[in-house]
Structure 1
Amino acid sequence: MGMKDAIAAKLTAGLSPTHLSVTDESDRHIGHSGWREGGETHFRVDITSPAFAGKSRIERHRMVNALLAEEFARGMHALAVTARAPGE
């Protein structure tokens, strides 16, 4: 399973999102720190989940990062996150 699919699967299983978009932006970071041949190093996630209700932005990012710890260990270098609760 590719990194993008793994990210989507873990966030879906862990947060039951009502909206989820995962974008591989590695091609925008060629030559930058953490980039490697073949990409799959820099991602953007836009997620809406009831699990974020009442949580601060930092708490939401920590929830996402905790679910994706294995992906960071496998070589994901950067993750941009937009996390909202429904209705925000």
Structure 2
Amino acid sequence: MNTKERIAARLTEALSPQALDVVDESHLHKGHAGARPGGETHYRIRITAAAFAGLSRLEMHRRINALLADELSGGVHALAIEAKAA
């Protein structure tokens, strides 16, 4: 399972999102800080989940970052998050 699949699996398991899109944008960051040959360093997440109801934008981001702590400490350099409640 690659990083993109692990991210999608963790978010799906924990949040049961109505919509989820995980995009590997590593190719856009070649030569930048944190970029590695082979990619899997820069991701964008678009997620809509009922689990976010009543949460602020900051709280949604904190929840996602906590769920993905292993990936963020193990090779993912950047994570852009677009989250909203269903």
Q: Which runs of 5+ in 2 are unaligned?
A: none
CA deviation vs aligned residue, 1:55-81 (integer Å, no higher than 9, x gap): 000000000000000001210000000
Matched, 1:9 2:21: no
- C-alpha displacement at 1:20, in angstroms? 0.2
Q: How many residue pairs get matched?
A: 86
What is the root-mean-square deviation of aligned Cα atoms in Å? 0.5
1:78 aligned partner: 78
Task: Flag as ranges the 4+ runs of structure 1 deviating above 4 A.
Answer: none
TM-score by length of 2: 0.98
Q: Which runs of 5+ in 1 are unaligned?
A: none
User: Which whole-Å CA distance do the structure 2 matches of 1:70 and 1:84 have between them?
Assistant: 23
Between the aligned residues of both structures, percent identity stands at 58
